[in-house]
Structure 1
């Protein structure tokens, strides 16, 4: 599907919606409620309000919307949110909004997009894939959000809000069976425990065979074995006080997240291609991208759990809130760095993280003034590393697997912030918002780098580092194992209500992501990155709320980008100079007739480096420029930022037919994404070309809404697309390793509600 045809179809759909809406506007007023779009209520600004009244670029999906769209994981959001790009590497979510994202996967790496569950910031990107069930809604805020949220973020925030307990005894159970022998169960039960206390227990299981196999062992890979449970308790001792306590647990134990071989990327200084060493030594790769050829199967083990307590107390126009949380993440993965059947360099990655946070808020609400004042404290301790046992045949040895490479250690973070925002309604139409945030952060490390070709590999053998950066230990010259950073980031916005259904707004804000360390690099700390963001937009509802159209335009001045790359055996992190980002986003939904709903989401993004010169180890000849120390390098000025496609477009249509026994609903979705680069060097062999996807479903719901039956098919054309890729280490001859999106899947879901 080419872009011109898709854009033409989108335009036709939009025109059709407007014309149909205009015709329906002549209907009697009493029909408006039956044909109007669902109002979505959000808490993006820490108060309950319609998403159409929020002067921010925010996309909100109700739990009902997510179920209709078949969104079963966070990756499904990228077809519903403009300029959102999602991928993963070794089970770690790579989230980018408007070109601002995560480009470092070393131990302790933290993304530029804040991820929240029930108001609690979750630091580890490996945890972002575990909470997508029994949701009340999902909110995605684009742009810096430091004046509203405890944890600062340069790119935006993803907020998942789970369903709260209430006073009714109710519940549901959904069971799914599909291809690849998939079986999945999701359910919840709501239990009132007296007049003041209620509980809700939710579960999710997901099991399936692999999307591919390891042709060496014959076993499935990219399978799933996951279990999740969440318990929520809501206590209301009085009319003005409530306490919400939520505990959750998630685990996985399968053979997912292995590397797929995507080709060779290395060249000599003379420009001759390098054969990846696993192939040069007699190994093979799988003929199909879905399969792998590794001497051992991939391993994915993770355990994630946490508990939070959200206490609210209201006094007149004031609401005082305390959010306390603890979160634990432990994961271990095993893959194959050379991606061949030759035992050259298996890769083992593990991370354990303990996180505590405390946030206090004071909110003030009147007819004309909405204010929030907050204080936030965050502490995290992380231990882990990446190990690459190395076959000494690479260096002319007899072919013994040695202890090889290890990069890791421990990282501790302490952060504190004061933040606040005041929105004042100067007139019935005009409002002014001012806010600011002061952030302070300190990181300390024990940074270890080992490259040991003397000891045979033994799992669990102690690390004997060749380079260390740590307090109270002999360290490399220039090592500074502790750094602190601070920043003040303001925000100002103006919004004007053109009429009761049309909101215009403009804002300027700054975002700050603290400096950090790249464990294993044994290098100085990386400087903070900052974004100055300018945004304007319009939110409108027309024809008795049968047509909704939101448009946002933005411009970012992005400085000191934290960019990662593989150098030799080490993943290094460096500050790219600057980037300029601007774009346009459109979200439309229409209900031109009571049984029909259609929607369109589109975005244009221009995300380019201004001046970024860097060495590409896999192409030592460079492109004619030299780095600071004289090495041949590449001038990346004008290159597109990773995970920042120029164009994206998504469409859906839904038609419901009333039957005597219930409602039958047909739904179709399509999405198209422009070319995505996964490296700052904009290599076409480390990218995904333009891609299109089609999904469809049929749902039947009984008249009493107790029983549902849904048949679905996703990725109808069964295309194999790359969700992330990178050029691997010089140790193994620069193969390209990647991860794939799901193939065609189909199945049936039976649901029962009471």
Structure 2
């Protein structure tokens, strides 16, 4: 047994670890002679809901053992990408945003579901912020790539990340680890395993971590990136000898404080500017069609990619102006902190996360079958805040409050005879989830309090020529921007998967799942302050989510009055509720074939379908009286792969090629409102994309002391039919355009039945004003400067007449266009865009070598991760572009001969690479971004009893 443990520790010490590093218990599945020779140990996974060798599962899975996680200091999901090929873990604030094979996490609100499933001990976690629960005393982590819609189902659209706790053992064991590192990071974790009798055992594990912020604040607000978190988990296992019964009862508690990296972690990273388009007051721009635009107040060059010039990310926060010329004589904005880990915020923010989770697993074995019950209850709460304006100016603090209560019940009946060629599983799943989210903002503006400083006191103008109003902080129970939503989901699913092996080599697998999601949604909308006053809301008062009567075409007001501190005349009817109900029923399936040439070599092929459930927009359909839903999105995935052990088990080589076809993608778009009189920005099923690639992974152990690990991932992910909505940019609506005119668009006398002359007049007026529409409100490109990239939106009136959709901004009526990211342009040109968070190449290389030192084993190890460039959002290549980077971890570990003591010195992200994890638009098209952690280093020590 000691030889087995030593062989496993030799492999674990590489720190790359990646695909097949096993614990000593699992290593027993390989012949002892092979293990003694330093062969690669096997690892058991449960991706198909039964215990199987990783090398025998016809799926692309990466498994990392608990020892490997411990060695690499992986304490949450964020660092998984350093160990797992082909997985990108973006993050914004408290939300993990994983990306796998062209599937990335975008929407995280209560109105939709995650795209990639996250499981803790087979328990689905419904919110992305739950994925940050600490990794403590784990058996392994499995990353299952591609849709897992048959056996998991719950929105496993792009794959799953599943973590498994170490279960109680029949022998006493205990351990403790301590770490101290950069930014005063102190982490303590430990476990104790205590048998309580011949058939009962208990295991208790926990951790506590505290760290200073690594994002330093030069103003009066909080440093960000700090940590203050504790976690405890207890597992009781009861398994009467000879009974066939096993019961596992789990309970865990997680609490997180500090500021974290704020609500979504953003800092201003600049604004897109085309220098050749910058114009001083009175300057002009000549368009290719001969039209000349003259800017009486000048133009600061803010533009997306356009035929007129190339944009770059200028280091200015464009939400503010300071009167100082920045580029070509234009005042682009206020300079930002160029250092990715420095900010200049005034707000002191907080983060409070708490989760209680309880589960029970019952297994009962018959002669040839097993029945399994998995029951869980989760209570999750999170409050996180951020500086709304990303500056030292006291404008606003944004807050997000999330409350989740989830109950799940799964029943499985599965074959239990491992010698039979026929293996099967059937089951049912029930899911009851209640999610409440409240966004609220304390705006220090528009409050008529005498003596408060104007923004000009801080040397900054809010907008060109605009006077900043008097301002004052709010008390902690008031919010003048209050947006609550409530989603209740009940889901029922039945599933089955069957496989049969012919001639002990050829196996056919087929699986099917039917899911019925019943979703009930309620969203609050404020009526707006009336009478020149302001609205404030008491955050301690529960929101009444009572829905309007069936068929009502307006939101229900009156049940949620604002705080008496409000001065607006409509405080009694400040918050209205609008609702929607929808059932989403869908089928997912999988078919696979694999052939086992030898016990160590196999090939497989599979095709599967994954579906992410639909959801709701916060937009009322005035015809149905309900908020507008959006439909599920669909992926069909094809995969061919091979898994091999060579050279007497000293070489492992796995490879896979895949193709994913995505349809009905849920994307943000601009469409006519249901009444046909205006437009709204909503999520619609308007996108298509595809992704294909190659994944290669190898482990080589030429001797028992030396371990190499390498992986290569190629991914070609493109959006092939994708449009984004546009909006007025202000050129026409503010009257700054003095050439070409801003003409009034005539109104229809009868909007339901316009005359031909009215339609012609409106079309002529829209043609003049079309320059006022661009993606995300940018001036360029637009339908005049780049006509091929815009699709005009038309609506059909109740009488069947088709007319142009319009939107009103600043008194000017403008047409509605969608900007073509991918798909056919106006002249038939085909545009294809990169899919966000999808680097084309990722290479990982690791090496370690064991030396006999001081009665133990000293292991230096290096692991390097290289990623080619990628974009973080689909609007433009230079919007949030992350250049290619390399990130290296180095470790020097010593383990005593009896394996009871170990010490490690480490450095992570040796290059100090600043990697953008997420980007988003802020006010006035300012770009905001989140960076990963900088270089860290430290020392850790551990003991085992």
Calculate the TM-score normalised by the size of structure 2. Answer: 0.72
In the TM superposition, what is the alpha-carbon distance from 1:632 to its structure 2 partner?
4.0
Q: Aligned residue for 1:724?
A: 918
- Equivalents in 2 of 1:135, 1:527: separation in Å? 37
Q: Aligned residue for 2:605?
A: 506
Greater CA deviation, 502-511 or 633-642?
633-642
- The correspondence for 2:510, drawn from 434, 445, 448, is 434
Q: Aligned residue for 1:338?
A: 389
In the TM superposition, what is the alpha-carbon distance from 1:735 to its structure 2 partner?
1.8
- Equivalents in 2 of 1:176, 1:583: separation in Å? 39
- Equivalents in 1 of 2:256, 2:641: separation in Å? 42
Residue pair 1:106, 1:519 contacting (<8 A) in 2 also: no
Q: Aligned residue for 1:737?
A: 928
- Counterparts in 2 of 1:694 and 1:481: CA distance versus 1, 3 Å: same
Q: Secondary structure in 2 aligned to 1:46?
A: coil
Q: Aligned residue for 2:362?
A: 311
Q: Aligned residue for 1:695?
A: 889
Question: Where do 1:46-445 residues align within 5 Å?
Answer: 46-149=49-152, 151-217=154-220, 219-239=222-242, 240-258=244-262, 259-265=266-272, 272-273=300-301, 276=317, 278-280=319-321, 285-366=336-417, 367-390=420-443, 391-392=445-446, 398-400=469-471, 404-445=480-521
- Counterparts in 2 of 1:614 and 1:234: CA distance versus 1, 3 Å: same
| RCO higher in structure (CA 8 A, sep ≥6) | 1
In the TM superposition, what is the alpha-carbon distance from 1:348 to its structure 2 partner?
1.1
What value does the CA root-mean-square deviation take over the aligned residues?
2.9
Q: Secondary structure in 1 aligned to 2:616?
A: coil
4+ residue segments displaced more than 6 Å = 266-271, 281-284, 462-465, 477-480
- The correspondence for 2:821, drawn from 636, 659, 681, is 636
Residue pair 1:595, 1:656 contacting (<8 A) in 2 also: yes
Residue pair 1:294, 1:342 contacting (<8 A) in 2 also: yes
Q: Aligned residue for 2:649?
A: 545
- Equivalents in 1 of 2:150, 2:396: separation in Å? 46
- Counterparts in 2 of 1:411 and 1:471: CA distance versus 1, 3 Å: farther
String of CA shifts for 1:249-305, please: whole Å, max 9, x gaps: 111111112322211248999874457565326977435321211221232111112
- Counterparts in 2 of 1:455 and 1:131: CA distance versus 1, 3 Å: farther
- Equivalents in 2 of 1:469, 1:610: separation in Å? 39
Q: Secondary structure in 1 aligned to 2:629?
A: coil
Q: Secondary structure in 2 aligned to 1:76?
A: helix
Q: Secondary structure in 1 aligned to 2:684?
A: strand
Residue pair 1:415, 1:441 contacting (<8 A) in 2 also: yes
Q: Point out the structure with the larger strand share.
A: 1
Aligned residues: 722
In the TM superposition, what is the alpha-carbon distance from 1:700 to its structure 2 partner?
0.4
- Equivalents in 2 of 1:518, 1:231: separation in Å? 40
In the TM superposition, what is the alpha-carbon distance from 1:684 to its structure 2 partner?
1.4
Q: Secondary structure in 2 aligned to 1:280?
A: coil
Residue pair 2:873, 2:879 contacting (<8 A) in 1 also: no
- Equivalents in 1 of 2:142, 2:116: separation in Å? 13
The reply on whether 1:585 has 2:695 as its aligned counterpart is yes
Residue pair 1:447, 1:469 contacting (<8 A) in 2 also: no
Residue pair 2:98, 2:116 contacting (<8 A) in 1 also: yes
- Equivalents in 1 of 2:716, 2:546: separation in Å? 41
- Counterparts in 2 of 1:237 and 1:417: CA distance versus 1, 3 Å: same
Question: Where do 1:466-505 residues align within 5 Å?
Answer: 475-476=553-554, 481-505=580-604
- Counterparts in 2 of 1:70 and 1:520: CA distance versus 1, 3 Å: farther
In the TM superposition, what is the alpha-carbon distance from 1:334 to its structure 2 partner?
0.8
Q: Aligned residue for 2:849?
A: 655
- Equivalents in 1 of 2:383, 2:910: separation in Å? 33
The reply on whether 1:596 has 2:787 as its aligned counterpart is no
Greater CA deviation, 127-136 or 107-116?
107-116
In the TM superposition, what is the alpha-carbon distance from 1:193 to its structure 2 partner?
1.0
Residue pair 1:276, 1:733 contacting (<8 A) in 2 also: no
Residue pair 1:348, 1:388 contacting (<8 A) in 2 also: yes
- Counterparts in 2 of 1:737 and 1:404: CA distance versus 1, 3 Å: farther
- Equivalents in 2 of 1:464, 1:47: separation in Å? 44
Residue pair 1:109, 1:518 contacting (<8 A) in 2 also: no
Residue pair 1:278, 1:341 contacting (<8 A) in 2 also: no
In the TM superposition, what is the alpha-carbon distance from 1:585 to its structure 2 partner?
0.8
- Counterparts in 2 of 1:361 and 1:450: CA distance versus 1, 3 Å: same
- Equivalents in 1 of 2:134, 2:221: separation in Å? 32
- Counterparts in 2 of 1:110 and 1:370: CA distance versus 1, 3 Å: same
Q: Secondary structure in 1 aligned to 2:81?
A: helix
Q: Aligned residue for 1:8?
A: none
In the TM superposition, what is the alpha-carbon distance from 1:462 to its structure 2 partner?
8.9
Residue pair 1:106, 1:571 contacting (<8 A) in 2 also: no
In the TM superposition, what is the alpha-carbon distance from 1:671 to its structure 2 partner?
0.3
- Equivalents in 1 of 2:339, 2:520: separation in Å? 44
- Equivalents in 2 of 1:699, 1:99: separation in Å? 36
Note the residue ranges of structure 2 that are not aligned, 5 or more in a row.
1-15, 17-31, 278-292, 303-315, 324-333, 447-461, 556-576, 622-626, 672-679, 726-774, 794-804, 806-814, 823-831
Q: Aligned residue for 1:533?
A: 637
Q: Secondary structure in 1 aligned to 2:255?
A: strand
- Counterparts in 2 of 1:220 and 1:36: CA distance versus 1, 3 Å: same
Note the residue ranges of structure 1 that are not aligned, 5 or more in a row.
1-12, 14-28
- Equivalents in 2 of 1:461, 1:50: separation in Å? 52
Q: Aligned residue for 2:717?
A: 607
In the TM superposition, what is the alpha-carbon distance from 1:103 to its structure 2 partner?
1.0
- Counterparts in 2 of 1:388 and 1:63: CA distance versus 1, 3 Å: same
